[in-house]
Amino acid sequence: MENRPLIVSVLGSGGGVAKAVLSLLNKAAADPTDPLHPFLNRAEIHLIDRKPKKLDEYGRIAPNLKGRFVLHQFDLLELDRVRAHLADTGTSLVIDLSWADTVDMIALCDELGIAYTNTALEIVEVDDNEELEGFTLLERYRMFENNRHRFTRVKGIVCSGMNPGVVQWMAHTLLSEPSDRPPLACYIVETDSTFFKDPKRAKPNTIYSSWSPECFLDEALLNYPMLVQRRVPLVLYAPAYGQAFKVTLGDLQFYGALMPHEEVLTLGRLYGLETGFIYKVQDYMIDLLRANLDQPNALWDWEHRTLDPAEDELEGEDTVGVLVVYEDKERYMYNTLETRTIYAKYGVNATYFQVACGVYGAICTLLLDDLETGLFFVDELLAATDSSYGEYVSRYLERFVTGENAGTDGLLLQRLKPF
């Protein structure tokens, strides 16, 4: 693919993840040692959104790429319009950062032989069916798997953000290490303290999140807590914020909610271990969610705001990692980024930058590695190929902490603390 100009279509280019991805690619375009540098210097980048930013704003985000941007405004639900765009532009890579239907977008890429990557599964049919509330993540995954066999021409990496995405590489790394006893469980863990430097800036009846508040509420309110045991997904019939689960990463300890996530399903299926995602947000939001356990639907009518360091002075950091549990010990690996540091360098918060690094890893893999045609989750990619995905994501996620706990807090239900 390096022998011809790279033509990229970025779907959902007006969102926070797209801003982070473009900022990272801007750095790559200016660095001759970056593996994407030769591609980006001959690239044509089409930015597509229902509500796109103005060209000058994209230029401020990525000045080294400004002359390569082409703006488009249309709805990704208009599949004939999307097909025509991809065909007419000769798009060779789709970076899907939108809420468009994942199966529909992959089907178009398969039809036209275009490489594809995204950060999460989106299925419009699931979102439109209120009867599926409580199980929307499971249903998205089921419908994706039910359609996966149809695609024979596309080369794609699905769900490659931070989590899902980079965390599967961390899990693969830890589980590949020798041990005298087999692992019992693998947990994805995250604690995100990003919030206003002055907490008085928080307004009442407002949901704050370092990423999409709507997607956060989908996981926190519309889905039951989920884990996987012996490759079988299980749900707890309780609100996610009605209990918490203990995590110990050396000197760092916290309690988080059990949330449904794509990587819990893929890792559980691949390795046969107990898997789950334990997630702690800032204390302000935890208190707010617990105070409204008896009226969760009311939170959808509140104002929703993404914590953006360009709009307010923020502090805090996002720690994302993996905890592998053995009978008598635990191993862990995590990355921590501080929002003020990342904002000064990339103009986005830490959470969005971590996601962008997963997207960067997928782009590099699709353009540089020798992949067979097919669709891969990141853990599948690492198990089935010699991909350099880990090397790519480590270029900008520079520091990963690894360590071992001398004891263990046990399996998920042993970690539970009710409220």
pLDDT digits over 246-257, tens only?
Answer: 999 999 999 999
**In percent, how much of the chain has pLDDT > 90?**
97
Pairing of strands 7-11, 93-96: parallel
* Residue 173 scores a pLDDT above 80: yes
> Beta strand 226-229 with 314-315: parallel, antiparallel or unpaired?
unpaired
Reported as a pLDDT band with limits 50, 70 and 90, residue 60 is: very high
| pLDDT at position 418 | 79
Q: What is the pLDDT of residue 419?
A: 74
Please say whether the structural domain 166-354+398-418 has been given the CATH code 1.10.3720.10.
no
pLDDT at 2 over 70: no
Distances (CA, A) of 44 to 4, 32, 218, 259, 292: 11, 18, 35, 38, 48
The torsion angles phi and psi of 327, rounded to 5 degrees, stand at: -60, -35
Q: How confident is the model at residue 188 (pLDDT cuts 50, 70, 90)?
A: very high
Q: Are 274 and 412 in contact (CB under 8 A)?
A: yes
Residue 210 to residue 301: CA distance in whole angstroms? 19
The H or E element that residue 57 is part of is: helix 55-61
| CA–CA distance, 64 with 61 (Å, rounded to integer) | 9
Q: What CATH number does the domain located at 7-161+356-389 have?
A: 3.40.50.720
For residue 347, the SS3 value is coil
**Of 405, 366, 410, whose CA–CA distance to 387 is shortest?**
366
Residue 4: predicted pLDDT: 78
Q: How far apart are CA 78 and CA 315, in angstroms?
A: 40
pLDDT given for residue 3 in this prediction: 65
Average pLDDT, the chain: 96
Kindly report the number of other CB atoms within 10 A of residue 5's CB atom. Answer: 14
Per-residue pLDDT averaged across 146-159, rounded?
Answer: 97
Mean pLDDT score, 399-404: 97
In the chain, domain spans: 7-161+356-389, 166-354+398-418
Q: What is the mean pLDDT of residues 4-19?
A: 96
pLDDT value of position 1: 47
pLDDT, tens only, 330-385: 999 999 999 999 999 999 999 999 999 999 999 999 999 999 999 999 999 999 99
